[in-house]
Chains A and B, each alone.
Chain A
Amino acid sequence: DIQMTQSPSSLSASVGDRVIITCRASQRISTSLNWYQHKPGKAPKLLIYGASSVQSGVPPRFSGSGSGTDFTLTINTLQPEDLATYYCQQSYTIPTFGGGTRVEIK
């Protein structure tokens, strides 16, 4: 199985900050990488697919980049409603998720 490693595991940032979350795959996965936002008590939500395509309805402050083994999710101008855990997921082979990054608001 392809292992996905996210960093950091948690972070605290202020409203208006830029937040960057990284995800590394244990082998090359081209751009077969998705990002999800998961708020407590809710269903996870697809934010980014194919490493950089923004899902319909997702605010433009969310963006993704990368290919091969290294990927990033950027949240520009962090908002209070962005409090959540973010997961990367590879779809190159049988799906696997990263361990998650908990984003807290200072």
Chain B
Amino acid sequence: EVQLVESGGGLVQPGGSLSLSCVASGFTFSDYYMDWVRQAPGKGLEWVARIRQRVKSYTTEYAASVKGRFTISRDDSRKSVYVQMNSLKTEDTAVYYCVRAADSGALFDYWGQGTLVTVSS
């Protein structure tokens, strides 16, 4: 059974930093793109970041709203994907979902339960 379990959410002040982790199980982690998607309170889904596999040189992509502030990474030996979030803004407040992007990123077929990040003073 495919499982994605996020951790690391919490309360942080504006301008602060936070790191989220996601541990995967039930599939060959190293074969897949991995993404982060978020949902702000009362808002829709917003794609945040992507990291490709080793064969694609672990290349990354970011939404314009987080580029330069967030960094996605992965550790295939730990079956984990991370997002380091710096210079956090109140508008980064959201539930962050770890997502498996299958078929070379064409579809999001498995999602974690999400972890809440609150940016507030």
Interface residues of A (CB under 8 A from B): 1, 32, 34, 36, 38, 42-46, 49-50, 55, 85, 87, 89, 91, 94-100
Contacts and interface: CB of A to CB of B under 8 A. Distances in A.
**Residue of B44, B97, B109 ringed by the most chain A CB atoms within 10 A:** B44
A95 B61 CA distance: 10
Contacts of B37: 44
Given A43-B97, A43-B113, A55-B109, A1 B44 contact: no
A57 B104 CA distance: 22
B44 to A, nearest CB: 4
A99 B47 contact: no
B66 to A, nearest CB: 12
Interface residues of B, number: 21
A30 to B, nearest CB: 11
**Residue of A1, A46, A95, A100 ringed by the most chain B CB atoms within 10 A:** A95
A89 B107 CA distance: 9
B105 A91 contact: yes
B44 A96 contact: no
A100 B108 contact: no
